[in-house]
A and B are shown apart, each in its own frame.
Chain A
Amino acid sequence: MKTLKHLIYKEWLKTRWFASIALLLNLGVLIYIFIALRSNFLSAGGTIYLSTLMTYKTQFFSLYRYIPLGIALLIGLSQFVPEITDKRIKLALHLPLHNLQIIYIMVVYGFVLLFLTMIPGILIFTGLISVYLPAEITIPVLQTMSPWLLGGFCAYFLIATIALEPAWKFRFLYILISYKVLTLFFMYLSIGNAVSLLPVLCLITGLSGIAPVYTSYRFNKGQL
């Protein structure tokens, strides 16, 4: 138990600075999107604004597209880059815990942190836009944004997977595969059209969540 606390504290020390930046970035962008929406809504008039929005399916929230990815990069890299450059993780693996447990405490910690940086912002955003937009629009908008959020989580898991891979050659190949996988999350889809893709994306995210097991296994054995 003490080791667990110790581990989490260590992760917190590494990531707190970047996590707070990520939190601010997430909130800032979402609030800016809301402010811009409000501005357009007020200057065009609600009736006109809504009918244009519904006819052209305007993606007024498109600024948010790569924000989850950016947050995942911030948290993932701040968590795993020092481990790699300083070979610190090797030391951590000598703790009296199972190796996989240690890796997974790190990964789950990062996942929870990612969740805590993004989801409150999304909740606030939903509340704010509901003031101006009816649920018939808000729900498809959130559906369209959800692949991006899932993409954030998936990117984080893939960063962990890649970081734990010991051989540079394979790391490069994983980066290529990860890039292609992530493009699935960030396709340019019209509002409401992402729904049919969501189960596939959830499956991929789930799979990427257990992928670090494979590379950490390779890492432990020091394969090259």
Chain B
Amino acid sequence: MLTKIIRIIAVLFAVIAAATVLPQLYYTTFPPEGRSSHKNICYSEILGDFIISEYIYSTDKKQATGQTVCYDRHGKSYSRDSVARLLLLDNVSQLAYEGRFPDTICGIAVTPELVSSEAFSQYHSAQPGLYYGLCELRDQKSYTTRTLEPRDLFRITPEGIQFIVCATNQIDEEKSRLFTNCLTAADFRFPALRMWTSPDKNISEAIGYYVIDSKNELYCLSMNQSVPAVQKLEKPDSRNIRNITFGKSPDIRAILNTENGNMYIQHPDQSYTRLELPDSLRKSGRLTGNLFYRIFTLPAQNQQTTFVFDRNFRLVDSCTLYFQPQPQNTAGIFGEFLFPFHIGQTAWEGFYADWSPVKRFLWLNLALAGITLFYKRRNGYRLSNPFVITDILFVTIFGIYGLMGISAFPLKKSREEILNSQSPEL
């Protein structure tokens, strides 16, 4: 009895092992055929409309190169050369190289240097990233002298802020007390739930940290010539803040998103503008900027939506681009017939089981279960035996993995069954 229960565990181990390795092996052996086309969308400041460029691979498999076609939302196509003249801001270096860059765009005097310096691109994730709670607070005046270089990292505990001198791994009591007092004076409630700074050292030095205290209030903590500077900041709305990214452009201090999916831009004067993004799209996106526009791109499954704002963050236009799903080849479809699911693990979400569509793999599972049933009957197993039933159930659910598992670990017949199978059936 015990052995049979242990056998079930063993079978499960075999199923896990098979489900991690077999699909991977299968899909490496039969890689997807053909490459899907690349699509890119840009907003033309001249047309005031989107231009979509698509890179299409040639149908000849031996040929790597394809060609780029450009068209707008209404299907009107453009030549590559005319596109360069319609998307001046995106083709600065090429146009300047050819000496074709105009002096004015939309009535504004421009130079290639000006356009290049105005362009930026940054990513804002709706989910907060990796966080250890141990950060480096750099001085706002770090640039004046190297003596302001910090020798410690800080954490914000329920007892207050603590500066840990790395070389000794001890707390710098004096500095910690000074900062704790300053934070308390600003009505900060310890501990901090989360803090953010910019990966850019210059911005990080200038702004310091945005800290959420235990009452979910927002504070800005920085240091000026070894003196703490704490400021309580308004929150964009009453909801809790989910994640903060600091801006790469001087007119954007930070991008914030709150729990209900609203996205805000914080300006250098600490006022907020809510971005008119649909509430359903609470996903991470990319913010790009140029001389005229701020463009937000939100990707989703097989599609991406681009929102174009003017420099005051008023929505100008938006467009959704649909990508054709990767064409499924026969090997891919066959894989879904063969493997009911695939087990893997990711660093931050743990184990997962990726199920194929039930209607695909069900037939093979049922067929295999039938074969198992037949085999068990032929070999004189009693079908009412709970362990035999478990075996058949495993094959029905886990399909090919289950069959492999139960054949790797043979089920011993009970004494009664052995007697039955030895007695002539006729």
List residues of chain A with CB within 8 A of the CB of B33. Answer: 42
How many Å lie between the Cα of A35 and that of B32 in the bound state? 13
List residues of chain A with CB within 8 A of the CB of B35. Answer: 43, 45
List residues of chain A with CB within 8 A of the CB of B27. Answer: 39
**Chain B interface: which size bin?**
under 10
Interface check A47, CB cutoff 8 A: yes
A43:B25 contact, CB within 8 angstroms: no
Q: What does the 1/0 interface line of B51-71 toward A look like (CB < 8 Å)?
A: 000000000000010000000
B64:A46 contact, CB within 8 angstroms: yes
**With A43-B35, A45-B35 as contacts: A36 and B64 at CB distance below 8 Å:** no
**A-to-B contact residues, CB < 8 Å:** 32, 35-36, 38-40, 42-43, 45-48
A-B contact count (CB 8 A): 21
How many Å lie between the Cα of A222 and that of B223 in the bound state? 75
**B-to-A contact residues, CB < 8 Å:** 25, 27-29, 31-33, 35, 64
B29:A35 contact, CB within 8 angstroms: yes
List residues of chain A with CB within 8 A of the CB of B25. Answer: 32
A48:B31 contact, CB within 8 angstroms: no
B31:A39 contact, CB within 8 angstroms: yes
B28:A47 contact, CB within 8 angstroms: no
The chain B residue with its CB closest to the CB of A39 is B31
A43:B31 contact, CB within 8 angstroms: yes
List residues of chain A with CB within 8 A of the CB of B29. Answer: 35, 39
Known: A36-B28, A38-B31, A43-B31. 11 other contacts (CB 8 A): A35-B28, A35-B29, A39-B27, A39-B28, A39-B29, A40-B31, A42-B33, A43-B35, A45-B35, A46-B64, A48-B64
Interface of B is mostly: loop
A42:B31 contact, CB within 8 angstroms: yes
List residues of chain A with CB within 8 A of the CB of B31. Answer: 38-40, 42-43
How many Å lie between the Cα of A40 and that of B32 in the bound state? 10
Closest 5 CB pairs of A and B: A39-B31, A39-B28, A45-B64, A47-B64, A43-B31
How many Å lie between the Cα of A39 and that of B329 in the bound state? 14
18 A-B residue contacts at CB 8 Å? A32-B25, A32-B28, A35-B28, A36-B28, A38-B31, A39-B27, A39-B28, A39-B29, A39-B31, A40-B31, A42-B31, A42-B33, A43-B31, A43-B35, A45-B35, A45-B64, A46-B64, A48-B64
The chain A residue with its CB closest to the CB of B30 is A39
How many Å lie between the Cα of A48 and that of B38 in the bound state? 15
Of B25, B29, B32, B33, the most chain A CB neighbours within 10 A belong to: B29
List residues of chain B with CB within 8 A of the CB of A39. Answer: 27-29, 31
How many Å lie between the Cα of A28 and that of B162 in the bound state? 55
How many Å lie between the Cα of A38 and that of B35 in the bound state? 15
How many Å lie between the Cα of A46 and that of B57 in the bound state? 14
State how many angstroms separate the Cβ of B62 from the closest Cβ of chain A: 9
How many Å lie between the Cα of A36 and that of B32 in the bound state? 13
The chain B residue with its CB closest to the CB of A37 is B28
How many Å lie between the Cα of A168 and that of B25 in the bound state? 44
State how many angstroms separate the Cβ of B170 from the closest Cβ of chain A: 37
The chain A residue with its CB closest to the CB of B61 is A42
Of B25, B27, B33, B64, the most chain A CB neighbours within 10 A belong to: B64
